[in-house]
Every structure is written in structure tokens, then in C-alpha cells.
Amino acid sequence: MTKERLSRRDFLMSAAKVVAAGVVAPAGGLAAAQAVFADGQSTSQETAVQQMWAGKEWGFVVDTQKCIGCARCVKACKLENKVPLDEEVFRTWVERYLVFNDDSGDEEVRTDSPNGGLDFKQLDVAPDKQFFVPKLCNQCHNPPCVQVCPVGATYRTGDGVVLVDRKRCIGCRYCIQSCPYGARFLHPVLKVADKCTWCYHRISHGMQPACVEVCPVGARKFGNQLDPNSQVAVLKKKARIRVLKPDMGTKPNVYYIDLDEVVE
């Protein structure tokens, strides 16, 4: 018995010695090297990206009382972001809401969004209430899509925009399923998750998102929520605003002005 135990201990001891020599020594060396090189690029130095983010929290305001359902935003978005025009996928789309009150006081709500709103048809009905609701990614403070991504391919930037890393995305669609707003889709050409970026390539250069640029009635406003003089900050303060599906706890950053209560 003692012999057995002795030899097992020898076995473990010598294995441990090799591992110690083979791993701990180089690892220690590496740590020392890192300590030396870390001085060169210390963490206190801000990168260009961090400077760009400083003092910014982008926000978006949609005025449903103004929207005329022309869908110029839908078309401009596709052209600006190279989303195929002939596919039924949209980074932003417009929904038509028709509300009918019957005699018993019940409400019937009909919604449609043919081709994202580009192909609305005249209908032979007379609704009691009618309006359009433009939709897009809410760039949530607590984005469920980011939480479910298994490869760290989607994230929220320091200035508040949820982006997809096209090089890392494996197209598993978890994020598409997790979005309560249906704002994500699989890009038909690139085969990666795609979504509204608030035109990150425009807003980072002082331009407005393409949909805001072409809206003929000013139903879409975009700006820095942290700047008290921005249109978005002013409207957030003085207008009656609400967000979509507040109980989901996602904390959206798209604010709707005077949105009818039938819209969730």
C-alpha cells in the first residue's frame, strides 16, 4: 500500500514540476514584459473613438401626428445603407394604423405595412382614427440582442448606438429573435444580422441620418440628448412623449410624440 502511494505521489510531483517549469516561468516573464510595455500606451490616454463619444448620447424623436406615410425614409434608408430594395427587409419601416369604433364601443385596430410602407394602397374604408407610425431600432439602453449574442458580435457604443460587427457575426439569428421590436433581420446578401445604425457613418461626421434628411414634414428628429439645446432634448422635455413596450425594461431611445394608446 505505502509503495503504491509513494509512486503515485512521485508521478504527480514530477508532472507538476514540468508544468510549473513549462508554464509558470514563461507566464511570469510575459507578465514582467507586459508591465514594462504597458507604460508606453497607458489606459489613461483616450483613443479617437472615446473622444468622439465624449458628452454624447444620441436620441431620436418621431412625431406620429406629422407623418404622411410617404415612405421616403424607407427608400432613403435602403439606398444609404445598401439594403436591397427588392427584398422584404427594412432597417426602418412605416406602419399604417386604422382604428374603427363599432356601436358597442369596441375598438378594432387594423395595421399594415406593405413593402415597409412603400406600397400603401387606397382602401374602401372609413376609419374613425388613422395615422402612421414610423419604426426603427430603439437603440435600447438594455438591449436584449446584445445579451444573447454568443460571439460578442453586437454591442452598444459609448454614444448610444447598437452596432453589428459583420466580421464576427455568425448569422445564428438569436438577436433577431430576441428583439421585441422586430428591428433586426438577416442581410440577404451578407448573411449577417443587420439593423438600423442611426446612420452611424453619417452622424459621426455631423450629418443627419438619411431618413431624417429626406422627411418632408419633420416627423423625424435626431440629436444629442445630453445637449440641452438639441431639438431632441427640447422635445423630450416639452412634448408628450412615450416609448414602445416600456414594460420590457429595454429602455428605448426612440421617443414618440403624441402616440395613440393603441400602439404598443
CB of 165 to another protein, least distance (A): 4
User: What type of residue sits at position 17?
Assistant: K
132 binding partner (options another protein, ligand HEC, none; Cβ < 5 to 8 Å by kind) = another protein
User: In this chain, which stretch among 84-92, 156-164, 184-192, 222-230 interacts with another protein, using CB under 8 A?
Assistant: 156-164
Contact between 40 and another protein by CB under 8 A: the answer reads no
Cα–Cα distance for residue pair 252/264, rounded to 1 Å: 13
Closest by CA position to 58, among listed 141, 182, 154, 175: 141
Q: Which does 8 bind (CB under 5 to 8 A by kind): another protein, ligand HEC, none?
A: another protein
Phi then psi dihedrals of residue 77, to 5 deg:
-60, -45
Contact 137, 248 (CB under 8 A): no
232 makes contact with another protein (CB under 8 A): no
Q: Pairing mode, if any, of strands 129-136 and 92-101?
A: antiparallel
List residues binding ligand HEC (CB under 6 A). Answer: 70, 72, 216-217
- Stretch binding another protein (CB under 8 A), from 16-24, 135-143, 170-178, 247-255: 16-24
Q: Point out the residue whose Cβ comes nearest to ligand HEC.
A: 216
Cα gap 72→117, rounded to integer Å: 9
H-only helix segments in the chain: 2-19, 25-38, 48-53, 72-81, 144-148, 174-178, 200-203, 210-214, 231-238
Give least dist CB 246 to another protein, A.
25
Answer for which of 152, 229, 237, 238 binds another protein (CB under 8 A) is 152
Which among 69, 113, 49 has a CA at the least distance from the CA of 215? 69
Residue 191 CB, shortest distance to ligand HEC, in Å, is: 33
Site string for another protein, 53-92 (x = CB under 8 A): ------------xxxxxxxx---x--xx------------
Closest to another protein by CB, 5 vs 238, is 5
- Residue 23: partners with Cβ closer than 8 Å, 6 or more residues away: none
Q: Is 210 in the site for another protein (CB under 8 A)?
A: yes
Nearer Cβ to another protein (206/228): 206
- Asked if 154 interacts with another protein (CB under 8 A), we say yes
Grid coordinates representing 118?
412603400
168 binds another protein (CB under 8 A): yes
Residue 26 vs 218, nearer CB to ligand HEC: 218
Query: Is 252 in contact with 243 (CB distance < 8 Å)?
Result: yes
